[in-house]
Structure 1
Amino acid sequence: MFTTILTARPGALDPALAHSLRNAWGGGEVRWLAPDEAAEFDIATRPGNLAETWEGVQTMDVDLNVLPAEGRRKKMLLADMDSTMIEQECLDELADHVGVGDRVKAITARAMNGELDFEEAIDARVALLEGQPDSIIETVLESRITLMPGGPALLATMKANGAHAALVSGGFTAFTDAVARRLGFDEHRANTLLAKDGVLTGRVARPVLGREAKVEALEEITARLGLAPDDVLAVGDGANDLGMLGRAGLGVALHAKPAVQAACPVRVNFCDLTALLYLQGYAKDAFVAA
């Protein structure tokens, strides 16, 4: 059995669409997880026209995902940070703050689309920060970094239901530490910006945490907790997230780059992070307040 899940921004999911799709696919009863926002129904087999139907509902600002009905609720959340748990790219914000934003953003875009090697790209971007006071990190955290909508509810609800939460980022520990504490992650991993005498050196500590390190984190943490990769919900938006998205039992491309969407079958483009709760079968009235 499979479950079809439709999600959209609050008030944007037309009940007629949910019932029409259920009828077309011979599904079971439509269950509303949130009125006019999230609905699901069961089907016996994965539809052959899923790709075409997905494209059609995207034009209505609706996300469509079909998942195995069993094992939807996950025991671990493994999340990227930049443009996933926060609305920004932390390195881009640092660069913009010191006046080299355009140069860094161009490199970031190419790296996130998979056009550049991640390690080379991070070295090239961080080099542009050489000589800046390390106090800019705290300034950027306080003035430029905002949480992705739905993140607090996602963390609070999954943790209240016994899940472990890990933040794994190609960004920097100075940011993941703050974001992890604010949202309630159990642990975090990221890169370290090197500084000497209060000044950024323009270098990143080795080894650089990139795509393979995120997969290693998934495997190490699940082994430590006695879980399996199938127990994990992973979420990210960039090319360096594809390894963990493919390894996890449920890998979600959130507002992702085109190359990432093409490689990831579970995609969320219109709903916020609460879509990850709907994908697991949580109704809105079961969400836990942060």
Structure 2
Amino acid sequence: MLTVTLLTSPTERRLDAALVDSLRNAWGGGDALWLAVDEAAEFSIPALPDNRWNVWEDLQRACVDLVIQPSDNRRKKMLLADMDSTMIRQECIDELADEAGVGAHVADITARAMNGELNFEAALIERVGLLKGLPEPIIEQVLDQRITYMPGGYELVATMKAHGAYAALVSGGFTAFTARVAAALGFDENRANTLLVADGKLTGDVARPILGKEAKVQALVDITQRLGIMQADVLAVGDGANDLGMLGQAGSGVALHAKPAVQAQCDIRINHGDLTALLFIQGYGRDVFIT
């Protein structure tokens, strides 16, 4: 059996019951279960519909996300999450670059790298080089004044952990940011790149090896082996090309408000819901969210 989940923005809450019933009837689905009134509903179907992506496109125009996945093992034992533009709204390197006076240039490189147009490691080295000489205290200033959390992040981590899951934050960004974000959201561990500092200023380089696409996959392998769980037990979420490896190997790989090239390679795409959408697709109702 497969489970169909329909959801929309929690601020808009415009999921129409008639739409849910119409699609359920068209696909021969079971009774609809509402996970949140006017926001999220699910039903089971016996087989994958041929018109899945046509319906997905139609629903996108109605600001509704559609996810279809196997019903078995939907509720995962581990969350593996990217940080930039996933657990936080910003790209931390872009914010540092803005303080260094090269914000627009670095933001353009970041966007191209996250869409898979540039090699991630080369792009990271180039961007970090432009931060050379930036005073180290600027990092704390950026954290305090510029970084904001993606809605639903705390609920996602807290609810999954309350049901026995492990949470790991794995970023191509920097440990100075992941440490703060992981602590604030309740992650069990975090991995990222380390900005090198000398005489109180950024040197314009990062420690090697650089944590990129392959390192995120390795984190998935390492942590699941350590916990004694399967990769099928992992829910991974990210938005950039360097997340595709872990999204592809995890039991459920979620492209969250992702770049076009990333969405094209992922079956689970969330464009209208926030991070609580990752709870809905596991079958959690809003009434059990930890807030």
Aligned pair partner of 2:45 in 30, 43, 46: 43
Please name the residue that 2:90 is paired with: 88
SS in 1 for 2:264: helix
SS in 2 for 1:252: strand
Aligned pair partner of 2:123 in 116, 121, 124: 121
Runs (4+) of structure 1 exceeding 2 A deviation are none
Q: Which amino acid aligns with 1:239?
A: A
Please name the residue that 1:103 is paired with: 105
- 2 CA distance for matches of 1:132 and 1:113? 27
Q: Which amino acid aligns with 1:118?
A: F
Q: Which amino acid aligns with 1:193?
A: L
Unmatched runs of 5 consecutive residues or more in structure 2: none
Please name the residue that 2:286 is paired with: 284
Unmatched runs of 5 consecutive residues or more in structure 1: none
Please name the residue that 1:6 is paired with: 6
- 2 CA distance for matches of 1:89 and 1:106? 12
- 2 CA distance for matches of 1:117 and 1:208? 12
- The C-alpha deviation readout for 1:186-242, integer Å capped at 9, x for no partner, is 000000000001010000110000000000000000000001000000000000000
- 1 CA distance for matches of 2:233 and 2:22? 32
Please name the residue that 1:171 is paired with: 173
| 1:200 and 2:202 matched | yes
- 2 CA distance for matches of 1:96 and 1:13? 39
Q: Which amino acid aligns with 2:120?
A: F
Q: Which amino acid aligns with 1:159?
A: K
- 1 CA distance for matches of 2:288 and 2:134? 46
- 1 CA distance for matches of 2:125 and 2:108? 14
- The C-alpha deviation readout for 1:43-87, integer Å capped at 9, x for no partner, is 000111101000000000000010101100000000000000000
Superposition TM-score, scaled by structure 1 size: 0.99
- Map 1:1-290; keep pairs closer than 5 Å: 1-10=1-10, 11-289=13-291
Q: Which amino acid aligns with 2:258?
A: A
SS in 1 for 2:132: coil
- 2 CA distance for matches of 1:183 and 1:142? 15
Superposition TM-score, scaled by structure 2 size: 0.99
Q: Which amino acid aligns with 2:7?
A: T
| 1:126 Cα deviation after fit | 0.5
| 1:98 Cα deviation after fit | 2.1
Q: How many residue pairs are counted as aligned between the two chains?
A: 289
- 1 CA distance for matches of 2:142 and 2:105? 18
- 1 CA distance for matches of 2:99 and 2:226? 39
SS in 2 for 1:176: helix
- 2 CA distance for matches of 1:133 and 1:276? 38
- 2 CA distance for matches of 1:234 and 1:87? 17
SS in 2 for 1:263: coil
- 1 CA distance for matches of 2:142 and 2:290? 29
RMSD: 0.5
- The C-alpha deviation readout for 1:116-145, integer Å capped at 9, x for no partner, is 000000011001110111111000000000
SS in 2 for 1:86: coil
Q: Which amino acid aligns with 1:236?
A: G
- 2 CA distance for matches of 1:132 and 1:217? 30
Q: Which amino acid aligns with 2:230?
A: A
SS in 2 for 1:66: strand
- 2 CA distance for matches of 1:138 and 1:110? 27
